[in-house]
Amino acid sequence: MKQMSNFELEAMIAELEKRRHKVELGGGLERQKKQHQQGKLTARERIAELLDDGSFLELSTFTEHVGGLLMREIDAPGEGVVTGSGTIHGRRVYVFSQDFTVLGGSLGKRNAQKITKVMDLAAKTGCPVIGLNDSAGARIQEGVDSLSGYGEIFYRNAIYSGCVPQISAILGPCAGGAVYSPAMTDFVLMTEGTSYMFITGPEVIKSVTRENVSFEDLGGAEVHMKKSGVAHQSGKNDRDTLQMVKTLLDYLPQNAREKPPVKATRDPRNRDTSKLKEIIDPSPKKPYSMIEVIREIVDDHFFFEIQPDFARNILTGFVHLGGQPVGIVANNPRFMAGTLNIDASDKAARFIRTCDCFNVPILTLVDVTGFLPGVQQEHAGIIRHGAKMLYAYAEATVPKITLITRKAYGGAYLAMNSRDMGADLVFALPTAAVAVMGAEGAANIVYRKDIQQSPNPEATRAEKIKTYKEAFDNPYVAAARGYIDEVIMMEDTRRILIEGFSMLAQKEESRPYKKHGNIPL
């Protein structure tokens, strides 16, 4: 066999380096400069920012586009996306990072196949997959091939949903098909000011509906955080958003077969939480900060909120309790008196299901007077949407603890993970009250005749309200009937919740055979 000369070997190595360098340049220095001028990082800088130093192993570097009539003259280094695997705080993840400098990060057939290759590897090996999205949507020049590429990705987003965590960071203008893949993942994080998500852009909208709208007002981070509920969190810039992706991973396991990682904490398990006495106003009409309640209870007072600006009448997010990741669902008495409406039901149901797929126990904090009454809510389908929440709680088999902080009335009491809907443990503070409705409303209905026929209706009304309050406006009736497991002191709350989740740590619960449930959508 002929020996290879050093010269030949060097030429081969030089060829590899030349090719790799070309791909690494993406769409070239000019377009990279534009990316920086817009305040964005490049696809490769984002990967470097996200992963542990030196951990990235790139795959499919030399992929070329699929060709076709309109692509003949076009060069697309790396096919417009950087893909591979690396680690975050030592945990393996798979990643793809769309390169806007190459044909606007548009998605062609082979570009899609680079992405599906890492999605398949992530699913086979049981690791999270993180998409860094910055794409102009379907690559127009490739026609049906690019649509097919999206199909391949959407299909995997669906079949791997609930198997491994899928996280999407939106870091540029994501248009058309580029938004539907993120929408099918578990979490969508956006960057303020430089990222947009829309199905059709401002120009198409103008030509069809004659509406004038800016990119920001149509699909910027603020819109998707506050109005549409599409985004779960937003960062001030790319680095901030990528940092949030890492924080999010702290609460998630590698896959659905594992439990989320326990995090060491110096916060004592039995830390006194008597500050709750100052935070929770016992008068049922006075709002207080449920976020402060949460922070008082949890490790290091840190609450990583999910969808903080959408449906603010309910709070969702992650915490650690004694090192154990826990998902929180809590009424927010500061906003719409914490009533449940359509958006709140959707927000909570989605979060409960996310926790359940990834074995994150759920803590529910209850202070709720009911579902929001009104024609608008009824006609927009509060029945259908509220049902999602009931369904999601009942369906979830993770450890579920409920803490009633104050009011728990009517249907909303049931919807907030009551005993009968599947709570494993129900605790109540002394300020709690479980009833069909508030004392005033109840007295007016139940004792209407007595009040009407009384020589002094107001005095009778006051007396009947007092009677009803004594009967129901406290935690003891529910505790006497076993709907509440224990009424606890404010100062013991943290210790007891940690103890409760520790009791439930090995919980196993099976369900009757089914292909899959049919949650109302």
Active site residue: 126, 411, 422, 441, which one? 411
Interface residue with ligand HXC among 180, 302, 335, 476 (CB under 6 A) is 180
Encoding tokens for residue 268? 């004592």
Beta carbon of residue 148, minimum distance to ligand HXC (angstroms, whole number): 10
Active site residue: 176, 322, 386, 410, which one? 176
Question: Does residue 145 contact residue 110 with C-beta atoms inside 8 Å?
Answer: no
Residue 277's SS3 state is helix
Interface residue with ligand HXC among 26, 78, 128, 137 (CB under 6 A) is 137
CA dist., res. 395 & res. 118, Å (int): 31
Helix axis angle, 109-125 relative to 144-159, nearest 10°?
A: 10
Q: Is 177 a catalytic residue?
A: yes
- 17-46: contacts with ligand HXC (CB under 6 A): 31
Please state, in angstroms and as integers, the Cα–Cα distance from residue 8 to each residue in 4, 14, 17, 48, 62, following that order: 6, 10, 14, 33, 21
- In SS3 terms, 324-342 reads as EEEEEEEECCCCHHHCECH
- Of 221, 246, 271, 206, the C-alpha closest to 95 is 246
CA dist., res. 297 & res. 464, Å (int): 37
In the complex with ligand HXC, the residue whose CB is nearer, 103 or 132, is: 103
- Of 370, 372, 433, the C-alpha closest to 406 is 433
Active site residue: 108, 137, 177, 410, which one? 177
H or E stretch covering 31: helix 29-37
Q: Is 327 a catalytic residue?
A: no
Site string for ligand HXC, 156-175 (x = CB under 6 A): -----------------x-x
Q: Is 104 in the site for ligand HXC (CB under 6 A)?
A: yes
Q: Is 177 in the site for ligand HXC (CB under 6 A)?
A: yes
User: In this structure, what DSSP letter does residue 138 have?
Assistant: B
Q: Phi and psi (nearest 5°) for 395?
A: -70, -30
Beta carbon of residue 202, minimum distance to ligand HXC (angstroms, whole number): 9
CA dist., res. 441 & res. 61, Å (int): 68
In the complex with ligand HXC, the residue whose CB is nearer, 180 or 302, is: 180
Burial class (CB in 10 A: 0-12, 13-18, 19+), 403: buried
Beta carbon of residue 145, minimum distance to ligand HXC (angstroms, whole number): 12
Q: Tokens 């992963």 map to which residue? A: 51
Beta carbon of residue 153, minimum distance to ligand HXC (angstroms, whole number): 10
Q: How many residues does the chain have?
A: 521
Helix axis angle, 342-357 relative to 382-395, nearest 10°?
A: 20
Q: Which stretch binds ligand HXC (CB under 6 A): 87-95, 135-143, 224-232, 499-507?
A: 135-143
Q: Is 202 in the site for ligand HXC (CB under 6 A)?
A: no
Interface residue with ligand HXC among 94, 96, 150, 318 (CB under 6 A) is 150
Please state, in angstroms and as integers, the Cα–Cα distance from residue 302 to each residue in 248, 319, 445, 455, following that order: 13, 6, 44, 56
Q: Is 201 in the site for ligand HXC (CB under 6 A)?
A: yes
Q: Is 140 in the site for ligand HXC (CB under 6 A)?
A: yes
Q: Which stretch binds ligand HXC (CB under 6 A): 51-59, 138-146, 417-425, 490-498?
A: 138-146
Beta carbon of residue 150, minimum distance to ligand HXC (angstroms, whole number): 5
In the complex with ligand HXC, the residue whose CB is nearer, 30 or 508, is: 30
Beta carbon of residue 357, minimum distance to ligand HXC (angstroms, whole number): 24
Q: Is 84 a catalytic residue?
A: no
Beta carbon of residue 171, minimum distance to ligand HXC (angstroms, whole number): 13
How big is the site for ligand HXC, counted in residues (CB under 6 A)? 18
CA dist., res. 500 & res. 274, Å (int): 19
In the complex with ligand HXC, the residue whose CB is nearer, 106 or 255, is: 106
Beta carbon of residue 47, minimum distance to ligand HXC (angstroms, whole number): 21
Q: Is 176 a catalytic residue?
A: yes
Q: Is 76 in the site for ligand HXC (CB under 6 A)?
A: no
Residues making contact with ligand HXC (CB under 6 A): 31, 103-104, 106, 136-141, 147, 150, 173, 175-177, 180, 201
Could you list the active site residues?
Answer: 176-177, 411-412
